[in-house]
Amino acid sequence: MKKIIFAVLIILIFISIYFSLNFFTLDKFKDDSKNESKELFSDYYTKAQKLLDTLNINEKIGQILLVRHPDTLDVTFQKNYQFGGILFFARDFKDKTKEEVIKMIQDLQKVSNIPILTAIDEEGGIVSRLSSNKNLVSVPFKSPQDLYKENGYQAIYDDVINKSNILTNLGLNLNLAPVVDVSTNKDDYIYKRTLGMDTEHTSIYAKTVIEASKMTKVSYTLKHFPGYGSNKDTHITSSIDDKTYEDILKYDLPPFIAGIASGAEAVMVSHNIISSIDNINPSSLSLPVHNILLQDLNFKGIIITDDISMNALKDIDDIEIKAIKAGNDLLITSDYEKSFNNIKKALENNTISEEEINSKVLKILAWKYYKKLI
């Protein structure tokens, strides 16, 4: 009898080890994401296609660019190019009254043939574009870590609601947040912008933010796929992540899966090179990285690059073309003329096809219908 019990225990131990090793396999991610992911914009593709059919090639190129607002307040740049979205930084709000900000955004909308995405990085804490201006925000937005210390996930939920109402009242409709990268090391570049906790807590954080955002008129963006980890600042330099693929699956991807399952409309891809997935291309330009998001995680929303003008990509040629072919729908750029012209030239020499552009524009237009911008 003792031998039988011993044998059963050995079998149970092996089963336990097997499942612990295989719990975070890609197959599990595929199953979970396919069960929970939704085609968010499917009800709007017919309307989007009708609108797409009316656009010329320049207008189509414009729609796939989310451009940094230039120093000048002159709206001619938007009138000429018809960009799909404008990204605002702290300098755009400096010393302005609420009325002045509203007018600035309304003036851009007035010259746009198709309503634009008006975006901001409003993470709270050290990345807060509005908090330096007391005319716009009386109390600076707190970081996710400070909010959690204050009252856990409830404080985070309430912050999303409050923040979104402020953004909406100013005319902003897209927040490039939350940062759902997992970082528990205070020495990590990305640490202060994260929840600063493990994968499980960060996954709940992602879920909380996206669920709260659904109660507002502002879309939120999970970033930086497939996880920033302990990598360098890609604003300044290139960065290589040498973690094993198994660790990425186990530790970095769950927060994105949780956010996607909760209805995330957008995911931003980082410029880090993930050597276990693609040891040549930054994630933002990597087809294998995008295939994980599109196929394995079954994400149906909008894929956004981090700013392609950042130094991590400075030595790479044909960035816009690679970004489009990798699977991005919306390209963030600080050099809108260069990006527009590069895409136009690639279309003219058949490096990319109009059909490839059309597929991106269709999703963006459907998203705008979904958001009730159109």
Q: What share of the chain is helix, strand, coil (3-state, %, to 5)?
A: 50, 10, 40
Query: To 10 degrees, what angle do helices 319-326 and 354-370 make?
Result: 70
- All structural domains of the chain, each given as residue ranges with its CATH number in brackets, are 40-370 (3.20.20.300)
Give yes or no for residue 138 having a pLDDT over 50: yes
Indicate the pairing of strand 122-124 with strand 127-128. Answer: antiparallel
Q: Which tens digit of pLDDT belongs to each residue from 323-359? A: 999 999 999 999 999 999 999 999 999 999 999 999 9
Rounding to the nearest 10 degrees, give the CA dihedral for residues 354, 358, 364, 368: 120
Q: Which has more pLDDT, 12 or 157?
A: 157
The residue to which tokens 């010393």 are assigned: 95
pLDDT for residue 15 is more than 80: no
- pLDDT tens profile 168-188: 999 999 999 999 999 999 999
Angle between helices 254-261 and 199-213 (to 10 degrees): 20
Burial of residue 325, with CB atoms counted within 10 A of its CB: 0-12 exposed, 13-18 middle, 19 or more buried: middle
Is 125 a residue whose pLDDT tops 50?
yes
- Residue 156 burial by Cβ neighbours in a 10 Å radius (0-12, 13-18, 19+): buried
pLDDT of residue 354: 97
Q: Output the pLDDT for position 72.
A: 84
Single out the residue of 40, 20, 32, 38 nearest to residue 296, CA to CA: 32
What whole-number distance in Å separates Cα of residue 220 and Cα of residue 210? Answer: 7
If pLDDT is split at 50, 70 and 90, which confidence band does 228 have? confident
pLDDT of residue 6: 41
Provide the β-strand partners of residue 222.
267
131, two tokens: 């908090």
Q: What is the pLDDT of residues 242-262, one digit of tens each?
A: 899 999 999 999 999 999 999
What is residue 315's predicted lDDT score, i.e. its pLDDT?
86
Q: What is the DSSP letter of 68?
A: E
For residue 274, report the phi and psi dihedrals to the nearest 5 degrees.
Answer: -100, 100
Q: Which residues contact 184 (CB under 8 A, 6 or more apart)?
A: 191, 196, 197, 198
